[in-house]
Amino acid sequence: MSEKNKLEYGAYQVVNNCLRTKSTDRVCIITDKITVNLCEVMKNEFLKVTDNVKLFLMEDHGQRDETGANPIKFPEEIATYLKTCQVSVYAARGLKGELPTFRTPMTKITDECNIRHGHMPNLNQLLMETGMNADYAQIKENNLKIMKFVEGAKTAKVTTDAGTNIDVTFNPEWKWFNCDGNIQPGHWSNLPDGEVFTCAYDINGTLVVDGVLGDFMNAKYGVISETPVTFTFKDGRVESFSCPNKDIENDIKEYITIDENANRVGEFAIGTNLGLERLVGNLLQDEKFPGIHVALGHGYPEKTGSDWDSDAHLDMVVTKTTVEIDGKKIMEKGIFLV
């Protein structure tokens, strides 16, 4: 398949297989100048299904601050249109500070207005041609198998040869979410897709992050296998951490003081996209790579039912993991056993 066809097929999957767009749907696309070329390809696919498609450029609604000191706020004009839609896509660079000011208000609207939303921060052509070209029927089948193990689970143990050794406790009343690319009304999911996640109740032990970091650190540092971050957790919070790259260390130190829960472990997820062969340095796809990732801060209480919140959400991908759920080994060194 040519690169052009792979790109178009990735857009086709977004429009048809993941968002299941109908002729009666109104569609909102939110993008930026860096990503607009990919969104134009998606717009063309949407227009094959429905005439009601509108694309917004973030830069038309305010200056974007690279430093994070004055992040752009979600504009009222986009909010007004978005509230009339059934389908939406966000695909743009994720800049420092924009998570609480732009992306969180946006996804709050998609939740409240029953919109099927594809969330694609830091999307690039490689992701459209790889993760969005994956076999989503296979992902759906794999996710169903994993969900049978994790729903209602009480504990998980994760280890790696690199030094990770964490014990995770779950609240069986908090929900696990099956992110298999089949986005339902009133829900949003990161695309490319392929994961199951919940909010951890408690985590203790050592976590060696050797994949990628999230939020603005993703684009800044890419794959950090040569300079992994080693965290020590006690009672669900960061007790200490270190990294050979002092810039990463300083960015994390600042990040986990955003609010009182920014140093607390929220999301716990298992990547399930079997079509991915390697990390590419982009969290949007790398968090779906078979293995686990956890996030400091926001644990998606609106989805999982967890009873606390945060403006922070720093994903951390760990590779070649061995995972036990309630004592049953479901993955060994990154390979599923179920």
Which residues contact residue 30 at a Cβ distance below 8 angstroms, ignoring those fewer than 6 apart? 55, 56, 58, 78, 82, 88, 89, 90, 91, 92, 106
Contacts of 266 (CB under 8 A, 6+ apart): 199, 200, 294, 295, 296, 297, 298, 299, 300, 306, 310, 313
Q: What percent of the chain has pLDDT over 90?
A: 95
Query: Same domain for 124 and 138?
Result: no
The whole-number pLDDT of residue 117 equals 98
Q: Measured between alpha carbons, how far is 82 from 106 in angstroms, rounded to an integer?
A: 9
pLDDT of 118: 98
Which tens digits make up the pLDDT trace of 270-310? 999 998 989 999 999 999 999 999 999 999 998 899 999 99
17 & 109 share domain:
yes
pLDDT at 216 over 80: yes
Q: Which H/E stretch holds residue 269?
A: strand 265-271
Does residue 230 register a pLDDT over 80?
Answer: yes
**Do 19 and 132 contact (CB within 8 A), yes or no?**
no
Selection from 37, 38, 59, 47 nearest residue 15 by Cα: 47
Domain boundary among 75, 96, 131: 131
pLDDT (tens digit, 9 = 90+) per residue, 92-138? 998 999 999 999 999 999 999 999 999 999 999 999 999 999 999 99
Q: Which of 283, 317, 311 is nearest to 298 (CA)?
A: 311
Asked if the model's pLDDT at residue 30 lies above 90, the reply is yes
Domain end, chosen from 103, 131, 159, is at 131
**So what's the pLDDT on residue 4?**
63
**305 three-state secondary structure:** coil
> Do 195 and 304 sit in the same domain of this protein?
yes
- Is the same domain home to 74 and 63? yes
Asked if pLDDT for residue 67 goes beyond 80, the answer is: yes
Q: Is the pLDDT of residue 3 over 80?
A: no
To 5 degrees, how large is the angle CA 202–CA 205–CA 207? Answer: 100
Are 168 and 235 in contact, with CB atoms under 8 Å apart?
Answer: no
Are 117 and 160 contained in the same domain? Answer: no
Q: With CA atoms as reference, report the closest residue to 334 among 268, 273, 251.
A: 273
Residue type, 327: G
Average pLDDT over residues 149-158: 96
How many percent of the chain have pLDDT more than 70?
99
Q: What is the mean pLDDT of residues 130-155?
A: 94
Confidence class for position 2, pLDDT limits 50, 70, 90: low
Which CATH number do you get for residue 101? 3.40.1830.10
Domain limits for position 223: 134-336
Quickly count: other Cβ atoms within 10 Å of residue 23's Cβ: 8
> Is the pLDDT reported for residue 25 higher than 90?
yes
The verdict on 265 and 316 lying in the same domain is yes
So what's the pLDDT on residue 325? 97
Q: What is the mean pLDDT of the chain?
A: 95
80 and 106 Cβ atoms separated by less than 8 Å: no
Q: Per-residue pLDDT for 316 more than 80?
A: yes
Model pLDDT for residues 325-334, shown as the tens digit of each residue: 999 999 999 9
Residues 13 and 27 in one domain: yes
The answer to whether residues 299 and 207 belong to one domain is yes
Among the candidates 111, 131, 151, a domain finishes at 131
Residue 141: pLDDT band with limits 50, 70, 90: very high
Does residue 287 sit in the same domain as residue 231?
yes
Same domain, 283 and 168: yes
- Same domain as 171, residue 112: no
Residue 337 to residues 142, 156, 209, Cα–Cα distance (Å): 11, 15, 23
Burial of residue 209, with CB atoms counted within 10 A of its CB: 0-12 exposed, 13-18 middle, 19 or more buried: buried
Q: Which of 36, 39, 34, 30 has the alpha carbon at shortest distance from 93? A: 34
- Taking the C-alpha atoms of residue 48 and residue 46, their distance in angstroms, rounded to an integer, is 5
CA 282 to chain CA centroid, nearest Å: 10
Q: What's the confidence (pLDDT) of residue 287?
A: 95
How many domains would you assign to the chain?
2
Whether residues 127 and 140 fall in one domain: no
Q: Residue 97, by phi and psi: left (phi above 0), alpha (psi -120 to 50) or beta? A: left
Res 66: pLDDT: 86
The pTM (predicted TM-score) of the whole model is 0.86
Q: How many Cβ atoms are within 10 Å of 132's Cβ, its own excluded?
A: 29
